[in-house]
Chains A and B, each alone.
Chain A
């Protein structure tokens, strides 16, 4: 039997009554003498596969844990051999985890993805240019490359503006470009979630050219 891990919590924090992945029990393994941490886990035969059902159940467990206090979330699929391995982990990284846990107390992650609404055209879709493949195709590719650069620059400006709009609410943030989309993660105080969402909604209404996908709150996946 192996320990399938969800996250790190303060030792002694009450656990929610909820089934874990593959209907496993939700348990806590304390770090032993000298640590104030515990790892939450379900005893399973091995690592579960990343099916939608398992992902959703893992998410439900971490959200239930987050209701009760700070949580350092593990990536889905983290498995250790047993109690000894868990205690070894907590001893080895205890100071790091303790600092992070304290920094996450009362804080949650909000996710925002920005996508410009205008779609990119594809050079392969222009049938009438089949008679002029070489130079014409290369010119179109060059135009698309310039548009991609402009698009990234637009998203840079939008991200900066959004960050300015959220000033006073954001404790930390992360951003990365994924193709035509800018993915942002924001660490905020749990009491500021509604204010954040209200400001984001106003930001979106003022910019119909931008598609905004938002979700959260989450455990602080991007800040651990």
Chain B
């Protein structure tokens, strides 16, 4: 079954805050050879805690993967 989300919804721009929250905080995590390299990310005021949490989560994953 093809996804029937309207094109205008799929094409919407999203904030860096939301990208960091979803892509660095969530999703399936692999073990073993999975690595996450975290570079400097421009911070957005409203999401400061959110961004730090996401970066912190990424660093913990990096540590767990050795």
A78 touches B19 (CB 8 A): no
Chain A, interface size category, equals 35 or more
Chain B, interface size category, equals 35 or more
Tell me, in angstroms, the Cα distance from A189 to B50 when the chains sit together: 27
Given contacts A49-B38, A50-B36, A78-B34, contact A69 B29 (CB under 8 A): no
Given contacts A49-B38, A52-B41, A63-B10, contact A69 B28 (CB under 8 A): no
User: Min CB distance, A82 to chain B, in Å?
Assistant: 10
A55-78 vs B, Cβ < 8 Å mask (1 yes, 0 no): 110110001001111101111111
Is A85 among interface residues, defined by CB-CB distance under 8 A? yes
B5 touches A217 (CB 8 A): yes
Is A170 among interface residues, defined by CB-CB distance under 8 A? no
B14 touches A215 (CB 8 A): yes
CB<8 Å pairs between A and B, sample of 15:
A5-B30, A59-B23, A67-B2, A67-B7, A69-B1, A74-B30, A75-B29, A76-B27, A78-B30, A79-B33, A179-B49, A190-B3, A217-B9, A219-B27, A224-B26
Give 15 A-B pairs besides A47-B37, A55-B20, A216-B9 with Cβ atoms closer than 8 angstroms.
A46-B35, A56-B19, A59-B19, A66-B10, A67-B5, A74-B29, A75-B26, A77-B35, A80-B30, A105-B1, A190-B4, A193-B6, A213-B46, A218-B22, A221-B27
Please report A residues at the B interface, Cβ cutoff 8 Å.
Answer: 5, 7-8, 46-52, 55-56, 58-59, 63, 66-70, 72-81, 85, 89, 105-106, 108, 111, 115, 178-179, 181, 183, 190-191, 193-194, 213, 215-219, 221-222, 224
